[in-house]
Chains A and B, each alone.
Chain A
């Protein structure tokens, strides 16, 4: 049976792709008919959408099967895998290339469709048919691209070769396993709010309540856009070896564009909820966010802009252009058609109001997005309009985005200080006292102590442009560390004040009822009963940490050196000693210091340098940068090694190593405060998850559901920690004793990850049991 399936696998896969298109077209037609008040057809459309999703699942599993059985008749399998690859990387290849990643896109969309339709049961009856129809159009579009331009089941012209070409070594990293799916989950998630917007515009159901419900879907997409971009930054930082986390590469830029508009929407929807304003703006933001996800995909895949991330050039750009045109025409056409019904019922009454701050914040976010989009496309625009080659590099983005970013950062702190409609002078004074005190105290402390601590408040900056604009940008760049740290203090004070006010209000209300609430109890109940609001403040706290991390770039130290074994070198406040180098697999009988894993892995040759680091004459750790030469692909990758602290990262890269003298060239970067970025994103993820967390009704939710939820959360946390702590040769090792043998080095992270998993599972269990007991108490059992 298996062999007969093998014979027809490419043909079966192609037929399934055609089947998906047919199924989506059928569901679309039934859904549109159901929109004309035929409830039975709506049921048929819902089941049709489930069937479409199941068929996509079938296609993905078939392709996975082809990878696992090394079916090299299939061109995609041939190009992105080989027989030496392990099972996880074989499955990673599903989204490692153009054709498979488009199928993966549809697969994620199918998961969203299934969840959305399940969620819609018993909700928004009028919108359902058109939501389904819109989602089916998106499925149909991607399926058409697969059929006519990027069929992952297409066969090779020649006969099946004995082995494949293998996945790009740069992609053989655990970041590759999680980064693209996370980013795609964010991108694809924007389809659901878009489908709602189109359905609302078609049906004329333009009230506030659906747009508020859709906020959760957008928040979910925002969460995964954040995770995806964060993982991308980590990947770039740890794998690409150029010493940074964001290079303003066109594809990186395209990935962050929808993040800005999603963030804007999450805020502006609150104005619609409270004041029935900005209906057009919110619809525009939803449509724009979805458009930007397609635009980003177009940039990555069309070959329009040169990027390190680009897939192979193909004709799919034309399909995307047509689809983008369709999105613009449909969105703009429908919004204009419904314009009279979308008029605001009120207007902004005072500048000192929260809605005014939110509008400013929206404009700043949209401004940042537009700036990045135009600057990214500028080389192409210049070529089209003036026939001139222009390059827009990282310095341009960094200089211009510093003031825009600081404006957004300031507005983030300001908005919560204002009330809706207008804020009385008394309330303003009360709200601003502590945050302003923190702002000035932060500035004073930074000016006084910054230089002594190695973080001077003012930095020297080259002039970027001649003239006044260049001078202004230079001055802003010079004071941006001071501004960032002061605004960080301001924002932290605002967040603390908001929590303190909430806790005080709870305690006072409890006192009026004759009860007592401790600060801890009040804080816990405050957050658990107002997750959306306080989750949002936690997100703000995460962004504060990220800004502190971004500011660290002002104090970067970058050096290059050629060292012999035993030689020392000073970089910033670190003293580096080049201790030894080893090449693995080694021909020496004693293994040349290589571990069992290094000796047995014949797919690559490794050159590993061992360096010891000291600060102020005191040993602080060691790093082992390496170079891997992949024998099959004849490709060399740099494996960076980083010593991380909250103060700074010591980032090392080894270049050429002389095999006889072991003299080596190195790149060293001291990167202050980078860990704050990762900490900030983790806090942001926690805050967003808290905002999204559903309110439990203990009477309706069973004990097992709570235990399952807690177990799921615990497993997720454990998996994340395990991934983050997985042994990786290129990671820094802090303890000197462990350096002697790489095999020994790997035992420590393994033990740590086991402990982390045990802790996370234990925490999950405690939460589950706690919730169960609480439910029993609430039910009076």
Chain B
């Protein structure tokens, strides 16, 4: 099963995904390149940038290999990005955009009322179908999550009981 870590993972990607670290890294490298460029010639500035790219390449490759081998934990953000959105969600967005566009066409008199009614009904039916599918999917996922949570809670309770029996002086929190 894919394990998920808190966002304080130390992988290079996790660090660089934090805007503050990313900005500090970029500003630092550019400042160093500028300082070298002005003091030792523009070529030195380019060399500093090349060095930064080399380090970035090695760091990213290392992160990728760690991900591949399963050693690196996914950050919550990464895990969420892999889990969403479903095809139905994307289709729903597309249908809603089409409906909005249709309304505009009607307002500028580009479409007859008859065609508007027909197309609008078609898009609304499609949106309803997709929403129903999404609800069904969400309900299934919710049930799965609830079962997992119940299992985790039950496990935690039984573990707490065992620990309390072993060490009655320092009860686990």
Q: Which residues of A line the B interface, CB within 8 A?
A: 2, 5, 23, 26-27, 30, 39-45, 47-48, 50-51, 54-55, 57-58, 61-62, 64-65, 68-69, 87, 121-126, 205, 207-210, 212, 273-274, 419-422, 424, 427, 430, 498, 501-502, 505, 509, 530, 533
Contacts and interface: CB of A to CB of B under 8 A. Distances in A.
A50 B115 CA distance: 48
B64 A47 contact: yes
Nearest to B75: A43
B49 to A, nearest CB: 5
A430 B82 CA distance: 51
A505 B107 contact: yes
B56 interface: yes
Contacts of B70: 40
Given A61-B47, A502-B108, 10 more contacts: A43-B82, A44-B67, A54-B56, A58-B50, A58-B53, A122-B80, A124-B90, A273-B98, A419-B112, A501-B108
7 contacts: A47-B60, A50-B13, A62-B50, A65-B47, A68-B42, A122-B80, A122-B81
B53 to A, nearest CB: 4
Contacts of A55: 53, 57
Interface in B39-65: 41-44, 46-47, 49-50, 53-54, 56-57, 60-61, 63-65
B93 A40 contact: no
A447 B50 CA distance: 64
A430 B108 CA distance: 12
Closest 4 CB pairs between A and B? A209-B94, A51-B60, A61-B50, A68-B43
Secondary structure at the A interface, as helix, strand, loop or mixed, is helix
A419 B105 contact: yes
Most buried by B among A27, A45, A47, A87: A47
Contact of A68 (B46, B74, B87): B46
B168 interface: no
A236 B33 CA distance: 36
A44 B65 contact: yes
Interface of B: 2, 13, 41-44, 46-47, 49-50, 53-54, 56-57, 60-61, 63-65, 67-68, 70, 74, 78, 80-87, 90-91, 93-94, 97-98, 101, 104-105, 107-112, 115, 119
A422 B115 CA distance: 9
B60 A40 contact: no
Contact of B61 (A48, A124, A505): A48
Contacts of B49: 61
B107 A419 contact: no
B117 to A, nearest CB: 12
B47 A42 contact: no
Given A40-B74, A65-B50, A210-B90, A125 B64 contact: no
Contact of A61 (B46, B91, B97, B105): B46
B133 to A, nearest CB: 13
B61 A51 contact: yes
A424 B60 contact: no
B53 A44 contact: no
A68 B49 CA distance: 14
B42 A87 contact: yes
A4 to B, nearest CB: 12
A47 B56 CA distance: 11
Most buried by A among B54, B61, B105: B61
B112 A424 contact: yes
A57 B57 CA distance: 9
B85 A122 contact: yes
A250 B115 CA distance: 47
Contacts of A124: 90
A353 to B, nearest CB: 10
Most buried by B among A122, A205, A209, A419: A209
B90 A54 contact: no
A40 B54 contact: no
B67 A205 contact: no
A125 B81 CA distance: 8
A2 B104 CA distance: 63
Contacts of B41: 68
A64 B48 CA distance: 12
Contact of B60 (A54, A64, A207): A54
A580 to B, nearest CB: 40
A210 B90 CA distance: 8
A502 B101 CA distance: 13
Nearest to A121: B81
Contacts of A419: 105, 110-112, 115
A69 B107 contact: no
Nearest to B61: A51
Given A40-B67, A124-B90, A2 B44 contact: yes
A443 B90 CA distance: 49
B53 A61 contact: yes
Given A47-B63, A47-B64, A58 B54 contact: yes
Contact of B64 (A39, A51, A61): A51
Contacts of A50: 13, 60
Given A68-B42, A87-B42, A530-B104, A208 B60 contact: no
A64 B47 CA distance: 9
